[in-house]
């Protein structure tokens, strides 16, 4: 029996080994550090002494003054740098409470073997400190001693979920161990080895014959996918887990998790019963059992990464520490989990972009498109925002567009734009113009591909890192029905949330019709911005294909798709007379479109979901598919080609 594994060179095996070693070290780093917190670090993180903070003139980050300014004190600057009443009261009320609780409960100067045990102790200390703080605030209220302009809620401790940022700061301050002592070493053992291993595995592909090769996609335990039962089960467990954690994330508020669960049940009922999909045959992406074990392990790794990154940043402290030298050496300041994420995201797109070019190097469109997403991710999504941050300007990704950039119209964002002067005004106007004029105009001219396949960071990661799993997208009619309900539902939710946000911003009210704006924003960010786009959207690459988020969840893709469906000149024309029904086009369509069915009927493909990646045309062995930006001559130019009928009796006949 012939082997079903793809032949690899010795260099590729070495690269694969180095990459796997890098992944193991990356995960193992989280277990090698210990944590020990001093009293000074505790107070500095939760309630810093305002008298000890640098004056605005002495810190470019704090005051918006260039690092080259003299920082000489003047009477005006001394007055401006006077302690804020709120900061002073926080130090006087919360500081002693945390100091006493930390001593009594054994947090201060005590070693902890893991971030989990340390974070648990911090939660205990916070709970004890909250009791003392509440008693002190109640006394201040009774005595009328609260300073003018300072609310009691400015001083009281919030619920645990809103304390996560300070827990992460405390964990970073308490970190001890080899990663803290030698961050560059671990940077080399993880990102460095992974980069080297990936390139060693990819570069030999350029020596092979160009052209698409299926390479046993549905035989590999990494890329064969899962059957419908396993796929649905894992997805269902993930959704339930996200909703249950959402209750904790919303501090015990059951309303929005219940609303989400109700909408999910409604959509399932509509698709399965109202639209008669229940009991019909659905596409089975893989064989029975757990033979796709590498894909499951890969998906679990990605899901775990996103859960920790978004919702438990205190547990990724060693990863952040590891990239601190990069942040400090190039941009200045201390790294956060978002810098870590941006750096990893960019490196992955660059390395896997090289793989994309090696695989599709026979097609110039694919090469240029891949270079485009590599450029926009590196320059617009990573370097420019970091440079702006170093200059104390809003760290805005200028290619990010509402409603994908769902917090663009949030109050804090609008105030940040206004406080940034001319640059901030430009960012605000640029974002609005893109939504109102840029998107419809560009989609009309070239389709949604200009963004989804050439510019977008989500699409860039899907096209590069996610390319090995593009064949796992579900092509069934049932999946298409789910897609339409879910993605347009997310678009409606984004519009309503933004409308509520703008109303409360301009009216000064905190709610409308009983819906509190901050709760709506927080739940949308948790469920859509983190849970759907990150945990499911990327974590399910090896399980459900690389465009799960783009296909089912992205509100901007829904907006672009509506314009493309009804107003765009873009389409994929087909030459049905040349189609041999090989199925390559449908197999490689990441958006779940049955391209072969269109080609066999000689129909142009004008689908709202099509991102115009062009891979279907790149893998077609007969040149049946062609990406077009105008249909003016498509009728008379392609009809003679795609409706030729050949028979022994009639010979060659043009069919109407």
Last residue of a domain, one of 176, 201, 229: 176
Q: Is residue 24 predicted with pLDDT exceeding 80?
A: yes
Mean pLDDT of 232-247: 93
pLDDT category of residue 121 using cuts at 50, 70 and 90: very high
Which one, of 398, 397, 388, 399, lies nearest residue 421 by Cα? 388
Last residue of a domain, one of 508, 539, 568: 568
- pLDDT classification of 68: cutoffs 50, 70, 90: very low
How high is the pLDDT of residue 56? 40
For residue 279, what pLDDT is reported? 66
pLDDT of residue 428: 96
pTM score, two decimals?
0.89
Report the alpha-carbon distance of residue 26 to residue 398 in Å, rounded. Answer: 31
Distance CA 412, CA 504 (A): 12
Residue with the bigger pLDDT between 596 and 143: it is 596
Which two three-digit tokens encode residue 561?
Answer: 């798709």
* Domain-ending residue, one of 157, 176, 195: 176
pLDDT computed for residue 631 by the predictor: 56
Do 66 and 139 share a domain, yes or no? yes
- Asked whether residue 305 falls in the same domain as residue 427, the answer is yes
Are residue 121 and residue 262 in the same domain, yes or no? no
Query: What six digits make up the tokens of 302?
Result: 């990605």
341-389: per-residue pLDDT in tens?
A: 999 999 999 999 999 999 999 999 999 999 999 999 999 999 999 999 9
> What confidence score (pLDDT) does residue 287 get?
57
Query: Are both 535 and 561 inside the same structural domain?
Result: yes
Query: Could you tell me if 599 and 576 are in contact, meaning their C-beta atoms sit under 8 angstroms apart?
Result: yes
At 209 the pLDDT is: 87
The enclosing domain of 607 has a CATH number of 3.30.70.20
Mean pLDDT value across residues 145-164 = 80
Asked if residues 170 and 46 have their Cβ atoms less than 8 Å apart, the reply is: yes
Q: Would you say residue 378 lies in a domain? A: no
Whether residue 324 lies inside any domain: the answer is: no
Both structure tokens of 70: 């003299």
- Where is average pLDDT lowest: 196-200, 508-512, 608-612? 508-512
- Could you tell me if 314 and 176 are in contact, meaning their C-beta atoms sit under 8 angstroms apart? no
Q: Are residues 155 and 231 in the same domain?
A: no
3-state secondary structure 138-180: HHHHHHCCCCCCCCHHHHCCCCHHHHHHHHHHHHHHHEECHHH
Environment class of residue 115 by beta-carbon count within 10 Å: exposed (0-12), middle (13-18) or buried (19+)? buried
Residues 562 and 578 in one domain: no
The pair of three-digit structure tokens given for residue 115, joined into one six-digit string? 């971030």
Answer yes or no: is 368 within a domain: no
> What is the pLDDT of the chain when averaged over all its residues?
87
C-alpha 431/C-alpha 429 separation (Å) is 5
Distance CA 587, CA 468 (A): 12
Are 424 and 471 found together in one domain?
yes
State the pLDDT confidence band at 70, using cuts at 50, 70 and 90: very low
Q: In the beta sheet, which residues pair with residue 653?
A: 645
For residues 59 and 146, membership in a common domain is answered with yes
Q: Does the pLDDT at position 494 exceed 70?
A: yes
Q: pLDDT by residue (tens digit) across 548-557?
A: 999 999 999 9
Residue 471: is its pLDDT beyond 60? yes
In degrees and rounded to multiples of 5, residue 249 shows phi and psi of -60, -35
| The predicted structure's pLDDT at residue 66 | 34
Residues 354, 223: Cα–Cα separation, whole Å: 19
Kindly state the average pLDDT of the residues 91-113. Answer: 93
Q: Is residue 230 part of a domain?
A: yes
Q: Residue 99: inside a domain, yes or no?
A: yes
Q: 519 falls in which pLDDT band (50, 70, 90)?
A: very high
Residue 208 covered by a domain: no
Within this chain, do residues 469 and 590 fall inside the same structural domain, yes or no?
A: no
Q: How confident is the model at residue 62 (pLDDT cuts 50, 70, 90)?
A: very low
Q: Assess contact for 223 and 471: CB atoms under 8 A.
A: yes
Specify the number of domains making up the chain.
Answer: 3
* Per-residue pLDDT at 1 exceeds 50: no
Interior/surface letters 368-395, b for 16+ CB within 10 angstroms, e for the rest: ebbebbbbbbbebbbebbbebbbebbbb
**Nearest-angstrom CA–CA distance, 187 and 185:** 5
380 falls within a domain: no
261 in a structural domain: yes
Say yes or no: 241 and 262 in one domain.
yes
Quote the percentage of the chain above a pLDDT of 90.
Answer: 68
Do 67 and 121 reside in the same domain of the chain? yes
The residue assigned the tokens 């941009």 is 331
Res. 79: pLDDT tops 50: no
Q: Are 575 and 526 part of one and the same domain?
A: no
Pick the closest to residue 66 from 76, 75, 55, 58 (CA basis).
58
The pLDDT, as a whole number, for residue 289 is 62
State which residues form the domain around 587. Answer: 570-654
Decide: 212 and 584 in contact? Cβ < 8 Å. Answer: yes
């Amino acid at each position: 029996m012939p082997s079903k594994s793809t032949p690899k060179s010795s260099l590729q095996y070495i690269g694969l080994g180095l990459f796997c070693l890098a992944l193991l070290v990356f995960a193992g780093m989280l277990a090698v550090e210990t944590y020990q917190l001093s009293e000074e670090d505790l107070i500095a993180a939760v309630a810093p002494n305002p008298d000890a903070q640098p004056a605005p003139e002495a810190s470019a980050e704090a005051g918006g003054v260039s690092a080259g300014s003299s920082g000489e004190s003047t009477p005006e600057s001394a007055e401006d740098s006077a302690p804020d009443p709120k900061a002073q009261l926080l130090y006087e009320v919360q500081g002693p409470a945390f100091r006493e609780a930390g001593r009594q409960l054994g947090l201060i100067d005590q070693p902890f073997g893991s971030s989990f045990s340390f974070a648990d102790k911090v939660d205990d200390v916070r709970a004890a400190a909250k009791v003392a703080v509440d008693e002190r605030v109640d006394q201040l209220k009774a005595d009328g001693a609260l300073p003018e302009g300072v609310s009691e809620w400015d001083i009281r401790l919030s619920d645990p979920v809103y304390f996560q940022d300070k827990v992460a700061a405390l964990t970073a301050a308490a970190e001890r161990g080899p990663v803290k002592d030698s961050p560059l070493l671990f940077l080399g053992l993880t990102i460095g080895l992974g980069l080297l291993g990936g390139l060693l595995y990819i570069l030999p592909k350029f020596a092979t014959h160009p052209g698409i090769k299926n390479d046993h996609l549905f035989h590999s335990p990494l890329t064969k996918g899962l059957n419908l039962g396993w796929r649905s089960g894992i997805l269902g467990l993930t959704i339930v887990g996200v909703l249950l954690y959402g209750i904790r994330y919303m501090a015990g508020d059951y309303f929005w998790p219940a609303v989400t669960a109700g909408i999910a049940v409604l959509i399932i009922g509509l698709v399965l019963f109202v639209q008669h999909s229940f009991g019909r045959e659905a596409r089975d992406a893989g064989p029975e059992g757990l033979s796709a074990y590498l894909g499951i392990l890969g998906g679990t790794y990605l899901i775990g990464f996103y859960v920790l990154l978004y919702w438990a940043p205190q547990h990724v402290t060693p990863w952040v520490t590891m990239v601190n030298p990069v942040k400090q050496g190039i941009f200045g300041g201390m790294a956060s989990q978002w810098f870590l994420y941006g750096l990893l995201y960019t490196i992955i797109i660059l390395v896997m972009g090289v793989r994309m070019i090696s695989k599709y190097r026979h097609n110039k469109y694919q090469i240029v498109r891949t270079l485009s997403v590599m450029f926009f991710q590196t320059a617009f999504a990573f370097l420019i925002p970091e440079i702006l941050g170093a200059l104390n300007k809003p760290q805005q990704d200028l290619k990010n567009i509402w409603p994908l950039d769902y917090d663009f119209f949030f109050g804090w964002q609008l105030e940040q734009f206004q406080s940034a002067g001319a640059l901030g005004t430009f960012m605000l106007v640029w974002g609005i113009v893109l939504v109102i004029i840029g998107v419809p105009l560009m989609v009309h001219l070239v389709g949604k591909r200009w963004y989804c396949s050439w510019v977008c960071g989500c699409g860039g990661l899907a096209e590069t890192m996610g390319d090995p799993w593009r064949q796992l997208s579900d092509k069934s009619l049932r999946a298409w029905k789910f897609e339409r309900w879910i993605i347009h539902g997310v678009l409606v939710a984004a519009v309503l949330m933004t409308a509520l946000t703008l109303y409360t911003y301009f009216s000064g009210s905190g709610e409308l019709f009983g819906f509190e704006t901050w709760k709506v924003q927080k739940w949308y960010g948790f469920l859509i911005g983190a849970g759907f786009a990150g945990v499911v959207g990327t974590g399910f690459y090896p399980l459900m294909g690389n465009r799960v988020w783009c296909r089912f969840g992205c509100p901007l893709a829904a907006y672009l798709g509506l314009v493309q469906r009804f107003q765009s000149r873009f389409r994929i024309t087909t030459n049905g007379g040349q189609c041999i029904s090989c199925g390559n086009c449908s197999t490689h369509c990441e958006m779940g479109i049955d391209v072969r069915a269109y080609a066999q009927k000689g129909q142009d493909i004008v689908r709202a979901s099509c991102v115009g990646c062009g891979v279907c045309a790149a893998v077609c062995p007969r040149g049946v598919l062609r990406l077009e930006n105008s249909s003016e001559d498509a009728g008379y130019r392609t009809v003679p080609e795609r409706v030729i009928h050949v028979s022994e009796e009639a010979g060659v006949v043009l069919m109407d």
